Every structure is written in structure tokens, then in C-alpha cells.
């Protein structure tokens, strides 16, 4: 399926997954700290499953892919975080590769 998607669609999909991941992490944190797990265990476990799936998929990816996906899609990082690690052209090349590797690891 990945071969049928444009690069823009792949980036949007990675962004969507990242947003869902961040919402799930936040909800899990709030539920753990307010006792909400007992009130809604199904929601907590659904969120935990998503977080585990994304984290597990990243374990199968290269070091650069993990760094790029985490900073671009799974955390709120500075827009120019990559300048410490990569030149601009290298970063954009690696970002395209990272999105492809991440989605492939998720079997999308």
C-alpha cells in the first residue's frame, strides 16, 4: 500500500499517527495521576496499546529514523532541532527515508 501513496500523504499519515500517539500518552498520564484507570480501563488499555505499537515499531527502525520520527511527530520539538545533528539537505533526505521506514515498520 505504501508504494501507492505520495510523499505528502505519507507525511500526513505519520503526522496523524504522531498526534494520536501524543493524545494517548497525555490521556494515559492524566488517567494514571487522577485514578481514571479504574473508571475507564478500556480507554486506558486502548491508549496503551497504541503507544506500545508505535514505540515497538520504532525499535525496529534505524537510529536516525527513531530520532527524526520522535522529534518531528511524537514530541513537540523545536522546529530547527535537526540543525544540531544534520545539514538541511541531509535532514530532508533522511526525513523522507524515516517516514517510509516508520510506516513500513508499522506494516502500512
Q: Is the pTM of this model over 0.85?
A: yes
22-81 per-position pLDDT tens digit: 999 999 999 988 887 788 889 999 999 999 999 999 999 999 999 999 999 999 889 899
Residue 30, exposed/middle/buried by CB under 10 A (0-12, 13-18, 19+)? exposed
Q: Mean pLDDT, to the nearest integer, of 9-15?
A: 97
Q: Are 94 and 68 in contact (CB under 8 A)?
A: yes
Amino acid 14: pLDDT:
97
Residue 2 has pLDDT above 70, yes or no: no
Q: For residue 1, what pLDDT is reported?
A: 58
Residue 8 in grid coordinates: 505528502
DSSP readout, 44-99? HHHHHHHHHHHHHHHHTS-HHHHHHHIIIIIS---TTGGGGT--HHHHHHHHHHHH
For residues 18 and 73, is the Cβ–Cβ distance under 8 A? yes
- Among residues 92, 46, 87, 90, the alpha carbon closest in space to that of 72 is found at 92
Amino acid at each position: 500500500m505504501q508504494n501507492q501513496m505520495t510523499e505528502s500523504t505519507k507525511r500526513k499519515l505519520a503526522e496523524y499517527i504522531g498526534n494520536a500517539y501524543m493524545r494517548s500518552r497525555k490521556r494515559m498520564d492524566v488517567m494514571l495521576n487522577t485514578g481514571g484507570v479504574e473508571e475507564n480501563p478500556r480507554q486506558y488499555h486502548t491508549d496503551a496499546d497504541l503507544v506500545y505499537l508505535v514505540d515497538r515499531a520504532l525499535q525496529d527502525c534505524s537510529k536516525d529514523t527513531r530520532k527524526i520520527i520522535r522529534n518531528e511527530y511524537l514530541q513537540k520539538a523545536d522546529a530547527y532541532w535537526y540543525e544540531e545533528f544534520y545539514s538541511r539537505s541531509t535532514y530532508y533526505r533522511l526525513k523522507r527515508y524515516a517516514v517510509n521506514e516508520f510506516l513500513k515498520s508499522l506494516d502500512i
